Amino acid sequence: MLTKSQAKLFFIIGTVLCVGTFLFLTVDTILKIPAQTRDANLTPAVERGKEIWDKNNCMGCHTIMGEGAYYAPELTKVYERRGPEWMRVFIKDPQAMFPGERKMVKYNFTDNEINDLIAYFKWIGEIDLNGFPPKPTLMSASTSTSTVKVAAPEKFTQICVACHAIAGNGGNVGPALDGIGVRRDAVFLDKWLRDPAAVKPGTLMPKLPLTDPEIKELVSFLSALK
């Protein structure tokens, strides 16, 4: 049983220790913020991207760092997950990438505005959030034993894999491309990549903004998948 003076001393010491611990943790957190938030990467483009995000109320549908609505996908790691080229094409025309499946508004952003948004998403994705959001552990349902012996073009790894898979790796929106070089010749692949709807009216495959060299590179790669 503590005496009155002992209880008073215990209270004072306990209060001082708690306040001191709180102040220490506060200062420690403040000192770590610049490194964790990568504030050295806060360029004018990132700031403009944040303004575009707020002005268009993107958080009304999406979440970033757990904050926002849950109607549309979480975007904290979208830069890492999709890559800048895929994001650029999607933001320019969401419906073209996923016809009839996306409710996202076409905002008619300029190329500079899209670049600013991508810069903002890149910065967000590089913030140290202590493991948030966690990466899901997924098992591929594919039973393919195919191996890719040819290096995939950058355009394929940035855009095509969002919908198509090879050897079980990639998206499942479109058909897997294992053995596509056996099923389709180079002439067909060239026509398909230039204008899918002209080859197959009603197809869900969008007409991607590909240059002639990019199409040639993709045709060469796909033709080698046998």
Condensed to tens digits (0 to 9), the pLDDT of residues 17-68 reads 999 999 999 998 888 888 888 888 889 999 999 999 999 999 999 999 888 9
Same fold, 40-126 and 154-223: yes
CATH class of 40-126: mainly alpha
Is the Cβ–Cβ distance between 115 and 97 less than 8 Å? no
Record: fold of 154-223:
Cytochrome Bc1 Complex; Chain D, domain 2 (1.10.760)
The pTM is what? 0.68
Residue whose pair of structure tokens reads 């994001």 in the numeric block: 87
Residues 6+ apart with CB under 8 A from 197: 203, 205, 207
pLDDT in tens, 79-95: 988 888 889 988 998 87
Query: Residue 224 pLDDT > 50, yes or no?
Result: yes
Which phi and psi angles does 190 have, rounded to 5°?
Answer: -65, -45
48: buried, middle or exposed (CB in 10 Å: 19+, 13-18, 0-12)? middle
Is the Cβ–Cβ distance between 150 and 224 less than 8 Å? yes
Instruction: Report the pLDDT averaged over residues 8-18.
Output: 92
Q: Kindly give the interhelix angle for 186-194 and 212-223, rounded to the nearest 10 degrees.
A: 140
Query: What is the domain partition of the chain in residue ranges?
Result: 40-126, 154-223
Reading phi first (left if > 0) and then psi (alpha if -120 to 50, else beta), residue 99 is in beta
Instruction: Report the pLDDT averaged over residues 197-221.
Output: 89
